Amino acid sequence: MIDLAIETSNLTKIYDQIVVVDHIEIYVKRGELVSILGPNGAGKTTLIKILTTVLKPDEGTALINGIDVLKEASAIKSIIGTVPQDYVFYEELSAEENLIFFGSMHGFPKKELELEAKKILKRLGLANRKDKTRNFSGGMKRRLNIAIALIMKPDILFLDEPSAGLDPQAKHVVWDYIKELKKGGKTIILTTHDMYEAEMLSDRVLIVNNGKILAEGAPETLKEKYSQRNILEVVFKQNDKANEFKSVIEPNSFIKQVLIEDDKKVNVYFDGGIISFIKILQEKAIKDVTELESMSLRQTTLEDVFLHLTGRRLRS
Amino acid sequence: MSFSQQIHIINTIAIKNLRIKLRNYQTFLYSFGFPLLFTVLFYFIFKPITVASGGITVFDLAVSGMLIYSASFGTINAATSLTAEKERLTLTRLDTTPVGRAKIFIGTLLSESFFLIIQLILMFCISYGLLGAHWYDKNLYLLLLGFFIIYIFGISTLGIGIIISANAKSANAAVGFSMMYVMPILFLSGSMIPFENPIVYLCPPFWANQLYQQVVILGDDIWSDTLRLNAQNIINAKFSTLPLWGSFIVILIILFVTTFIGIKLFQRKTLNQ
């Protein structure tokens, strides 16, 4: 029998007649890191809110460590930690005061919390900041947001867009810490619309759109399954050339999709051999190579999987 | 979770609220600054005007109005405290911990009542200790009883604050709505400027003011005396048939009804959202 940390069945949430979470069935094994990937409004945060007992589902069941979220919400609250998308703590208090406060809500003794808070703050590089958290940078606030969830020593951690709005350096600090937590055996559910983040951190990815799970699996499996086509990325020097190129290339039978980005960049998804494609490019599509900024064949990403499944880019 | 752990959690919430409050200079301005400023101003303006034999001045009567004004800030404090909790989403984060809403409410009411005690001690010290306001027979027991009356009235103002917080979207809006309730009610109750109109009976501060002035300034017995119903001339007003302690019952009813409605509304507006 598989040891499941999270199991949902037919989970549904409706707001004003709009189905935000649509009969979702997921399972997460203990110690697994699963990313829920989808655009804004896909239903990711609502799903997390149901699993963390903040929202009640309109239909279906959800079990956390075998405990029903509807029947035993308080038991679930003592085994989960949540990291909301926003910076959610008291800006008038210091980092340590925030940690001790939220830890106290779980009934942990103050002495134990003080020691634990110092340990976590040191690991996250916040030990030297004794001032109000209002003065913290975005990266520091993000790390504190995570630290608050960890002081509760949760079995299962829900991270809602943990690196949103951070610069690349700060993102890496957060990612390294998430990897460390995973190594430590924590079950982690992560929602994101950052493909790279999902691909790099996750054991499995759930692609969600309009409240439904469109696909799930390991990042590599998904890429193999849903995007076996070749991708040619062409960047023109001038704006008007991309449309002209698209109109010439699109009618060919082996071209599956042509997508223009930023007026100059074109992604061509095609089946079949590269030789025949280059021939067409030479004869019809690109009359003058000096019009090109760059041209490259590239690897399939989760973004391409999402595009294949939904017909649109994740951020569009 | 054991009983002592639950008490510890409630205390932690209350201490956190007090810390936040005391680290915001705006709190000092409207909770301590304005009532003290008006008390001192009233002293200079009204102290020379005597209204009765025995040296009772307009200032002595105005002190109760100032105390009620100060205690009424409970509405603003409770409203901003709970609205801020909603606005910064800490309420939702707390909802994912085993703490439960009941403890959040009790912790908030505890911190607000403690804050109210600090406010009232300051106001009593300034009014009676420093500015020498009159109280009956210099009987310390009556002053303590008066403190208790204003304190309970202050607690009764928290319920309206919870009702406001259930609907306000931001802490700033909560301050605005609270002021729109507190100031008209204070004036309509005749506590700030006495006036004779049946509308005063509908305003909670009237009952606290009436009780305080009769007990502390005129020395009436809360158990055996009756209400003197003449807002413009309470000193020479004839006793009615209504018992004086009835005012206290009115304050208690307001306390329980508004707190109950406030909590119900707040829960309905914020749970499962």
Q: Cβ B97–A77 below 8 Å, yes or no?
A: yes
Beta carbons of B71 and A51 less than 8 angstroms apart: no
Which of A93, A105, A107 is nearest residue B94 as measured by Cβ atoms?
A105
Percent of chain A with pLDDT over 90: 43
Q: Is the predicted pLDDT of residue A228 greater than 80, yes or no? A: no
Q: Which residues of chain B have pLDDT under 50?
A: none
Q: How confident is the model at residue A52 (pLDDT cuts 50, 70, 90)?
A: very high
Angle (nearest 5°) at CA B147 between B143 and B149 = 115
User: A315 falls in which pLDDT band (50, 70, 90)?
Assistant: low
Binning pLDDT at 50, 70 and 90, where does residue A39 land?
A: confident
Task: Please give the Cα distance from B235 to B214 (Å, whole number).
Answer: 8
CA distance A96 to B166: 30
- The DSSP code sequence of B105-163 is HHHHHHHHHHHHHHHHHHHHIIIIIIS----GGG-HHHHHHHHHHHHHHHHHTHHHHHH
| B88 φ, ψ (degrees, to nearest 5) | -90, 5
Question: Which of B268, B250, B41, B23 lies closest to B165, judged by CA?
Answer: B268
Average pLDDT score over chain A: 87
B88 interaction partners in chain A (CB closer than 8 Å): 88, 90-91
Which pLDDT score, from 0 to 100, does residue B166 have? 95
Rounded Cα distance between A46 and A52, Å, is: 10
Closest partner residue to B89 among A56, A74, A84, by Cβ?
Answer: A84
pLDDT for the residue numbered A266: 86
Residue A163: how many CB atoms within 10 A of its CB? 24
Is B4 at the interface with chain A, CB within 8 A?
no
Contacts of A55 in chain B (CB under 8 A): 272-273
pLDDT, one tens digit per residue, over B238-261 is 889 999 999 999 999 999 999 999
Residue of A nearest to B84 (CA): A90
B162: nearest Cα among B269, B62, B68, B89: B269
CA pair distance A28, A188, nearest whole angstrom: 9
Other C-beta atoms lying within 10 Å of the C-beta of residue A19:
16
Token pair of A286 as six digits = 């690109």
What is the token pair recorded at A208?
A: 């969600």
- In single-letter form, the type of residue at position B1 comes to M
B100/A74 touch (CB, cutoff 8 Å), yes or no: yes
Element holding A87 (H helix, E strand): none
Do residue A82 and residue B93 have CB atoms under 8 angstroms apart? Answer: yes
Q: Residue A172 phi/psi, 5° resolution?
A: -65, -35
- Which candidate in A20, A67, A105 is best for mutational testing of the B interface (most B CBs within 10 A)? A105
Query: What pLDDT is attached to residue A2?
Result: 60
Q: What is the pLDDT of residues A234-288, one digit of tens each?
A: 888 887 788 888 888 888 877 877 888 777 888 888 776 667 677 777 777 777 7
Amino acid A51: pLDDT: 94
Q: Is some CB atom of chain A closer than 8 A to the CB atom of B97?
A: yes
The amino acid occupying position A108 is: F
The count of other CB atoms within 10 Å of the CB of residue A71 is 10
Cα–Cα distance for residue pair B46/B42, rounded to 1 Å? 5
Are A60 and A10 in contact, with CB atoms under 8 Å apart?
A: yes
Report field, pTM of the whole predicted structure over 0.95: no
Q: Which candidate in A54, A133, A135, A156 is best for mutational testing of the B interface (most B CBs within 10 A)?
A: A54
Q: How far apart are CA A106 and CA B239, in angstroms?
A: 56
Number of structural domains (chain B) is: 1
How far, in Å, are A6, A12, A61, A76 from residue A156 at the CA level?
9, 22, 18, 10
Q: Closest approach of chain A CAs to the CA of B120, in angstroms?
A: 25
Q: Decide if A80 and B96 are in contact by the 8 Å CB cutoff.
A: yes
Residue found under tokens 């404090």 = B77
Mutate which of B27, B85, B90, B93 to test chain A, going by most A C-beta atoms within 10 A? B93
The partner residue sitting opposite B20, judged by closest CB among A54, A92, A152, is: A92
Please give the residue range of the domain that contains residue B144: 3-270
Cα–Cα distances (Å) from A43 to A86, A190, A208, A304, B229, in that order, read 17, 13, 7, 20, 62
CA distance linking residue A253 with residue B208, whole number of Å:
86
User: Which amino acid is it at A222?
Assistant: L
Cβ <8 Å between A55 and B272: yes
pLDDT single digits (tens) A97-144: 999 999 999 888 889 999 999 999 998 888 889 899 999 988 899 999
Name the percent of chain A in helix, strand, coil, to the closest 5: 35, 30, 35
Query: Which amino acid would we find at residue B145?
Result: L
pLDDT in tens, B141-171: 999 999 999 999 999 999 999 999 999 999 9
Question: Measured between alpha carbons, how far is residue A200 from residues A197, A215, A300, B68 in Å?
Answer: 5, 18, 14, 62
CA B259 – CA B160 distance, rounded (Å): 7
Q: Tell me how far CA of residue A97 lies from CA of A26, B23, B58, B231, in angstroms.
A: 37, 13, 48, 50
A93 contacts on B by Cβ (under 8 Å): 16, 19-20
Question: What pLDDT was estimated at residue A238?
Answer: 81
Handedness of CA B135, B141, B143, B145 (dihedral sign): negative
pLDDT of A227 higher than 80: no
Rg of chain A over all Cα atoms, to the nearest angstrom:
23
User: Among positive and negative, which fits the CA dihedral A173, A164, A83, A102?
Assistant: positive
Q: Which two tokens stand for residue A43?
A: 């239903």
Residues of chain A in contact with residue B95, where contact means CB-CB under 8 angstroms, are 53-54
Percentage with pLDDT > 70 across chain A? 95
Q: State how beta strands A80-83 and A255-261 pair.
A: unpaired
Task: Tell me the mean pLDDT in the region A36-57.
Answer: 90
**Are A156 and A79 spatial neighbours (Cβ–Cβ below 8 Å)?**
yes
Q: How many CB atoms lie within 10 A of CB A251?
A: 8
Residue A17 CA: distances (Å) to CA of A20, A43, A84, A210, A221: 9, 14, 26, 13, 35
